[in-house]
Chain A
Amino acid sequence: GDSVTQMEGPVTLSEEAFLTINCTYTATGYPSLFWYVQYPGEGLQLLLKATKADDKGSNKGFEATYRKETTSFHLEKGSVQVSDSAVYFCALSDNQAGTALIFGKGTTLSVSS
């Protein structure tokens, strides 16, 4: 079945460092891909998405490119801030009727000043 694999955390960075969180997926069709963020004690929020190959999603300085050839959707940010500390989830929708979103296990990011 479809699945999402994320790099294990925690990821610990200093402020202004470059961030990459790896995400790869397995899907039989042409999925849509998402990154969600969860701040401490809260629910998840959509961070960005891409619906077809080579699309780049971006928001709040974060970017991710849908790479069909490598089945990847890695999250990047050029300069992280302390306020980016959160758990990041990669997710997949196989765009088939009757199926729900599939999430990765999440990657915890901790940014120190």
Chain B
Amino acid sequence: DGGITQSPKYLFRKEGQNVTLSCEQNLNHDAMYWYRQDPGQGLRLIYYSQIVNDFQKGDIAEGYSVSREKKESFPLTVTSAQKNPTAFYLCASSIGLVTGELFFGEGSRLTVL
């Protein structure tokens, strides 16, 4: 079945450590996205990528980094510079950037201890 796979589902991190969240899709979609979800704040866009080897900052990119070396993969690194990293992270993809219809993974919950 086609879809988006995020891993790990739960992750604990000590302060000062970088962590990488995995996102893989087999939908052959060109565009991929990372959103952060906090209670009462909805979804906020971190980074997005329209094509391989290209990505753009979203509204809250500070303290995060991404890469897009393969069409299927769009990993997110939460760096130690992110001041409040505890959140639920959602990866999504779409056929193209303008189509609007996103397909989401099940999310990764990061907790900083």
Contacts and interface: CB of A to CB of B under 8 A. Distances in A.
Interface of A: 32, 34, 36, 41-46, 49, 89, 91, 93, 95-101, 103-106
Given A44-B102, A99-B97, A104 B42 contact: yes
Interface of B: 4, 6, 33, 35, 40-43, 45, 48, 50, 56, 58, 90, 92, 97-107
Q: Choose among B48, B58, B99, B104 the residue with the greatest number of A CB atoms under 10 Å from its CB.
A: B104
Contact of B107 (A43, A89, A105): A43
Contacts, number: 60
Contacts of B107: 41-43
A11 to B, nearest CB: 15
Contacts of B6: 43
B101 A46 contact: yes
B35 to A, nearest CB: 8
Contacts of B102: 36, 44, 46, 101
A45 B50 CA distance: 21
Contacts of B35: 103
Contact of B41 (A34, A41, A49, A105): A105
B111 to A, nearest CB: 15
A43 B90 contact: yes
B42 A43 contact: no
Contact of A45 (B33, B97, B104): B104
Contacts of A44: 43, 90, 92, 102, 104
Contacts of B33: 100-101
B55 to A, nearest CB: 11
B99 to A, nearest CB: 8
B100 A95 contact: yes
